[in-house]
């Protein structure tokens, strides 16, 4: 058993972290967040590096790498709270790849792989989704509803920009008439599962960054003549943040591996990943604000971008409760077999 | 990343699984006196020993199988999965033997290792004291040199297996003037002497797994010092590092089984479709999966990369917390039976309260995570 990354995967991780430390610095993220728009310069750079197509097959213009590599990039972009439509686009591509017909794949995937097209994804009720991250700039949206999915383009749906609490991925409200767009007739569940792994990985990155920032802060900040991180009320909160993050990381890395190595287990592992990562995203970033004290509640500190990103991601394609309900069904099916 | 066992590991697992199926322990004697229960577990260890399965992780030269870390973990998972008892001499096998392999002289290894394996001599651990729990290095039991012997006086507590142990891994203060970590020495004390009195400690379950030791001028020959006079803290750390290693995999599987049993009861009662219970059961399932993954990641990272991750300090905390939550939820799902004394569920509910205390309290584990994993500053202890 080996939980480690290959040398190539480590290279991807290191390159991504170095690049984003420079190009998605807190200042640059803040600038775009306050302007409420994507960072087009960064997105162009990522497109040139082939990031949006990392897990799209080569025959459709992607790099043909796997779920693990996709999770690595998602995590790093989450760490940076990068203001780019990467995650919504790769999630849309994952569903189209798994559930689209050959014609649909050929129509949409090359554009998504190259980043000429921006995709987005959302769970819909009666064709409507109230908050679609990156929806304001999306060319197409994959709407998932009751186990089926369809692609609607900008001119087929009613898309209205909406200011989400996370302004780093300008969002939209989407409403599509019943017969609008094209149904994806294939294995929607498999595609959604791959998409869930990507968003879970982004949440792990968000948690990791929140913990790093918090640890650095509580080592520095002194009260009563002592760094506040020496007080157990604070240090035990940090330990809890690490535990929550590592639970989500363990579940997400297993899921990212099953995506290619053990696809029969992917749906269950993806539900596990999303349930744990959604919870961790909320609790860890909330703790980050708390441990920063008053400064953590100010606009000028950067922890709130992490909290806001985590809130959007935690809800995307179902929150922790919804995925636990799915887990309960998997577990219940096995219990029925045992009886 | 490859989350599967290798062919060799699968072959090892299948070999032991087959052996367990062919060689089940003698029938559980049920509720009988402690001696009869211990005799049953000793017989089971001898059976494992004769099959070559008492301690596969030990090097072959000492009677083990030189199993890898992964194979050892598989062994403990399989013991749990087969729902068989642990060998009686678990402390000798997991703690005493491996400590001697690191620190013991050749004479000590020759003398002590074989009877540990065969259950001819049972071991216990005399570390904690009434005033030295989490702060172990502040222990007060003293040993004074007298000719070729050491004379030991003091009190130990939480000593499991002391009623039937032959040898005690005893840490005592040999230099009262040295700093507290420096003045300690690690001894092997013969329990069969009148100067050592054992009093069982009745715990909240009603049973007595643990004991108090009252030591009044007990004698230990100098040759029973392990690792040198004044080196006791380092030797004790070797013992403590082994404390959670293998056993964790048995405990993790037992939690899995307990949860599966609980899910089974919930399914029978139609509660799996009830969102009040389904959500909590799924949460416990998720934590169980995280424990499994983190335990394996912690172990295989060490095995493959020589580099432990943060998991080691997290898994025991998460396990104890999850076991407590699962046994507590059982009180809601199982109902009255879970609160009737003597049932499995009520026993587990009560026993689980010890999980977050024994082998390092959750509070101490959080300190370790904060200080050693996250690098947060230590709070200066209040001066005594």
Band the pLDDT of B383: cuts 50, 70, 90: low
A83 CB contacts (<8 Å, ≥6 apart)?
A: A24, A29, A32, A33, A37, A38, A39, A42, A168, A169
For residue B2, tell me if it sits in a domain.
no
Question: What is the rounded average pLDDT of the residues A261-268?
Answer: 97
Q: What CATH number corresponds to the domain at position B213?
A: 2.40.110.10
Q: What is the pLDDT of residue B244?
A: 60
Please report the pLDDT score of residue B360 as a whole number.
87
Confidence of residue B308 (pLDDT cuts 50, 70, 90): confident
- Measure CB to CB from residue A251 to each of B281, B282, B290 and give the nearest one: B290
Neighbours of A308 (CB within 10 A): 19
Q: Tens digits of per-residue pLDDT, A119-161?
A: 999 999 999 999 999 999 999 999 999 999 999 999 999 999 9
One domain for residues B64 and B150: no
Across A234-258, average pLDDT = 98
Whether A4 has a pLDDT exceeding 90, the answer reads: yes
Phi, psi of A84 (to 5 degrees): -135, 155
pLDDT attached to residue B310: 80
- The reply to whether ipTM tops 0.85 is yes
Q: What is the pLDDT of residues B269-288, one digit of tens each?
A: 999 989 999 999 999 999 99
For the stretch B97-110, pLDDT in tens is 999 999 999 999 99
- Chain B hits for A218, Cβ within 8 Å: 376
Same domain (yes/no): B252, B368: yes
Residue A184 near residue A104, CB atoms below 8 Å: yes
A11-27 b/e (C-beta count within 10 Å ≥ 16 → b): ebbeebbebbeebbeee
Residues 6+ apart with CB under 8 A from B59: B66, B101
The length of chain B in residues reads 384
Q: Is pLDDT at B291 greater than 80 in this prediction?
A: yes
Residues B266 and B312 in one domain: yes
Q: What is the average per-residue pLDDT within B220-229? A: 98
Pairwise CB contact (< 8 Å): B286 & A324:
yes
Counted domains in chain B: 3
**pLDDT at residue number B67:** 95
Kindly report whether the global pTM for this prediction surpasses the value 0.80: yes
Number of Cβ within a 10 Å radius of residue B10: 12
CATH classification at residue B49:
1.10.540.10
Q: How many CB pairs under 8 A join A and B?
A: 164
Q: What is the mean pLDDT of chain A?
A: 97
Please return the burial class of A337, using the count of CB atoms within 10 Å of its CB with bins 0-12, 13-18 and 19+.
Answer: exposed
Nearest CA in chain A to B263: A335
Contacts of B304 (CB under 8 A, 6+ apart): A2, A4
Least confident among A27-36, A234-243, A319-328, B237-246: B237-246
Quick check: A264 contacting B, CB < 8 Å?
no
pLDDT at A276 over 90: yes
A254 pLDDT higher than 60: yes
- DSSP assigned state of B339: G
Q: B residues 100-119 near A, CB within 8 Å?
A: none
**Joined tokens for residue B39:** 């005799």
Identity of the residue in A256, A257, A331 whose CB atom sits nearest the CB atom of B281: A331
* Interchain contact, A3 vs B294, CB within 8 Å: no
Contact call for B294 and A339, based on CB within 8 A? no
**B261 and B357 inside one domain:** yes
d(CA A164, CA A143): 19
* Tokens standing for residue A1: 């058993």
CB B368 within 8 A of CB B359: no
For residue B360, tell me if it sits in a domain: yes
Give mean pLDDT, residues A205-229: 97
Per DSSP bridges, beta strands B184-190 and B225-226 are antiparallel
Among B206, B230, B254, the domain-final residue is B230
Q: Are residues B192 and B224 in the same domain?
A: yes
Output the pLDDT for position A9.
98
Which residue is associated with the tokens 């139609």?
A: B270
| Nearest CB partner across the interface for B279, out of A251, A253, A324 | A324
Task: Enter the tokens of residue B215.
Answer: 């030591």
Stretch B366-382: mean pLDDT, rounded? 89
φ/ψ of residue B335, rounded to 5:
85, -145
Q: What whole-number distance in Å separates Cα of residue A314 and Cα of residue B171? A: 50
Q: Cα–Cα distance between A23 and A3 in angstroms, integer?
A: 29
Most confident of A117-121, B85-89, B161-165, B199-203: A117-121
Residue B103, domain member (yes or no):
no
Chain A contact for B12, CB < 8 A?
Answer: no
Contact B311 A336 (CB under 8 A): no
Task: Report the DSSP beta bridge partners of residue B189.
Answer: B168
Round to whole Å and give the CA distance between A146 and A153. 20
Does the annotation mark B212 as catalytic? Answer: no
In this prediction, residue B243 carries a pLDDT of 64
A188-338 has which CATH code? Answer: 1.20.140.10
Distance CA A81, CA A166 (A): 10
Strand runs labelled E in chain B: 123-126, 142-146, 149-157, 167-173, 184-190, 196-201, 210-221, 225-226
Q: Is B94 among the domain residues? A: no
Residue B379 lies in a domain: no
b (16+ CB within 10 A) / e for B318-350:
bbbbbbbbbbebbeebbeeebeeeeeebbbbbb
- CA of A129: how far to CAs of A64, A157, A318, B217, in Å? 31, 11, 12, 78
Average of per-residue pLDDT across B292-316: 88
> 3-state DSSP call for residue A59?
helix
CA distance B281 to chain A (A): 7
**Is residue B381, in this structure, part of any structural domain at all?**
no
Co-location of B47 and B142 in the same domain: no
The H or E element containing residue A203 is helix A188-220
Nearest CB to A238; choose among B275, B289, B376: B376
Place of tokens 């300008």: A170
Interface of B with A in 147-206 (CB under 8 A): none
Q: B12 and B75 in one domain?
A: yes
Please identify which of the residues B77, B78, B121, B243 carries the catalytic annotation.
B243
Smallest CA-to-CA distance from A190 within A276, A253, A270, A273 is with A270
Whether the CB-CB separation of A116 and A107 falls below 8 Å is answered with: no
Contacts of B355 (CB under 8 A, 6+ apart): B319, B320, B323, B324
Residue B109 lies in a domain: no
Domain containing B220 equals 123-230
Tokens of A123: 């769970």
CA distance A101 to B137: 68
Would the pLDDT of B382 be above 70? no
Q: Are strands B210-221 and B149-157 parallel, antiparallel or unpaired?
A: antiparallel
Strands in chain A per DSSP E = 119-123, 128-132, 140-145, 148-153, 158-162, 171-175, 182-184, 222-223, 226-227
Residue B245: pLDDT over 80: no
For the cut 50, the answer to whether the pLDDT of residue B384 exceeds it is: no
Q: Supply B313's token pair.
A: 């300090």
Which residues, in sequence order, are bridge partners of residue A38?
none
Best of A220, A238, A328 to substitute, by most chain B Cβ atoms within 10 angstroms, is A328
The CATH number covering residue B309 comes to 1.20.140.10
Spatial CB neighbours of B109, under 8 Å, sequence gap ≥ 6: B62, B100, B101
B263:A239 CB<8 A: no
Q: Does residue B359 fall inside a structural domain?
A: yes
Mean pLDDT, range A15-28, rounded to an integer: 97
**Paired tokens of B147:** 């000719």
Same domain, yes or no: B177 and B83: no
């Amino acid at each position: 058993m080996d939980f480690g990354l290959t040398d190539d995967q480590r290279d991807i991780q290191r390159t991504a972290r170095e690049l984003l430390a420079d190009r998605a610095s807190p200042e640059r993220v803040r600038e775009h967040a306050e302007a409420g728009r994507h960072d087009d310069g960064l997105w162009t750079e990522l497109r040139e590096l082939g990031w949006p197509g990392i897990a799209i097959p080569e025959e459709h213009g992607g790099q043909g790498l796997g779920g693990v590599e996709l999770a690595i990039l998602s995590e790093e972009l989450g760490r940076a709270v990068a203001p780019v439509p990467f995650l919504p686009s790769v999630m849309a591509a994952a569903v189209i790849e798994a559930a689209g017909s050959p014609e649909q794949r050929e129509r949409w995937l090359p554009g998504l792989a190259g980043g000429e097209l921006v995709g987005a994804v959302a769970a819909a009720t009666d064709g409507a989704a109230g908050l679609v991250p990156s929806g304001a700039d999306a060319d197409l949206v994959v709407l998932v509803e009751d186990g089926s999915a369809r692609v609607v383009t900008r001119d087929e749906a009613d898309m209205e920009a909406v200011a989400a609490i996370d302004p780093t991925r300008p969002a939209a409200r989407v409403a599509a008439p019943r017969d609008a767009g094209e149904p994806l007739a294939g294995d929607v569940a498999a595609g959604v599962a791959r998409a869930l792994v990507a968003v879970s990985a982004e949440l792990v990155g968000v948690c990791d960054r929140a913990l790093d920032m918090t640890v650095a802060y509580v080592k520095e900040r002194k009260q009563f003549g002592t760094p506040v991180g020496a007080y157990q009320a604070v240090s035990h909160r940090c330990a809890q943040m690490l535990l929550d993050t590592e639970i989500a990381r363990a579940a997400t890395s297993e899921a990212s591996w099953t995506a290619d190595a053990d696809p029969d287990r992917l749906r269950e592992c993806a539900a596990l990943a999303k349930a744990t990562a959604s919870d961790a995203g909320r609790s860890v970033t909330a703790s980050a604000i708390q441990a920063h004290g008053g400064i953590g509640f100010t606009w000028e500190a950067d922890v709130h971008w992490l909290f806001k990103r985590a809130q959007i991601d935690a809800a995307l394609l179902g929150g922790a409760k919804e995925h636990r309900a799915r887990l309960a069904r998997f577990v219940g099916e096995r219990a029925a077999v045992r009886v | 990343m490859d989350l599967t066992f290798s062919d060799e590991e699968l072959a090892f697992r299948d070999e032991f699984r087959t052996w367990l199926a062919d060689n089940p322990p003698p029938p559980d004697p049920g509720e009988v006196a402690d001696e009869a229960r211990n005799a049953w577990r000793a017989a089971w260890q001898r059976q494992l020993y004769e099959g070559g399965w008492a301690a596969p992780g030990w090097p072959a030269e000492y009677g083990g199988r030189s199993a890898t870390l992964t194979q050892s973990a598989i062994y403990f998972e399989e013991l749990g999965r087969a729902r068989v008892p642990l060998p009686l001499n678990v402390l000798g096998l997991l703690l005493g033997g491996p400590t001697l392999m690191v620190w013991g002289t050749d004479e000590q290894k020759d003398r002590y290792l074989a009877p540990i394996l065969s259950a001819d001599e049972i071991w216990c651990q005399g570390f904690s004291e009434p005033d030295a729990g989490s702060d172990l290095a502040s222990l007060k039991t003293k040993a004074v040199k007298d000719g070729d012997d050491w004379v030991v006086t003091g009190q130990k507590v939480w000593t499991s297996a002391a009623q039937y142990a032959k040898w005690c891994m005893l840490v005592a203060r040999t230099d009262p003037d040295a700093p507290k970590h420096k003045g300690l020495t690690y001894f092997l004390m013969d329990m069969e002497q009148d100067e050592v009195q054992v009093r069982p400690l009745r715990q909240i379950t009603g049973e007595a797994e643990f004991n108090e030791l009252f030591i009044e001028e007990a004698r230990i020959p100098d040759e029973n010092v392990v690792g040198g006079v004044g080196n006791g803290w380092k030797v004790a750390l070797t013992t403590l590092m082994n404390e959670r290693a293998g056993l964790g995999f048995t405990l993790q599987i037992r939690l899995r089984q307990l949860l599966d049993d609980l899910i089974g009861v919930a399914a029978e009662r139609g509660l799996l479709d009830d969102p009040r219970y389904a959500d909590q059961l799924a949460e416990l399932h998720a934590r169980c999966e995280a424990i499994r993954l983190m335990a394996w990641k912690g172990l295989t990272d060490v095995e493959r990369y020589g580099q432990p991750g943060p998991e080691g300090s997290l898994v025991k905390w998460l396990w104890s917390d999850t076991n407590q939550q699962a046994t507590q939820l059982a009180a809601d799902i199982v109902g009255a039976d879970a609160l009737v004394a003597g049932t499995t569920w009520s026993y587990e509910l009560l026993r689980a309260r010890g999980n977050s205390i024994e082998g390092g309290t959750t509070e101490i584990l959080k300190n370790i995570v904060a200080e050693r994993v996250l690098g947060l500053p230590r709070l200066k202890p209040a001066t005594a």
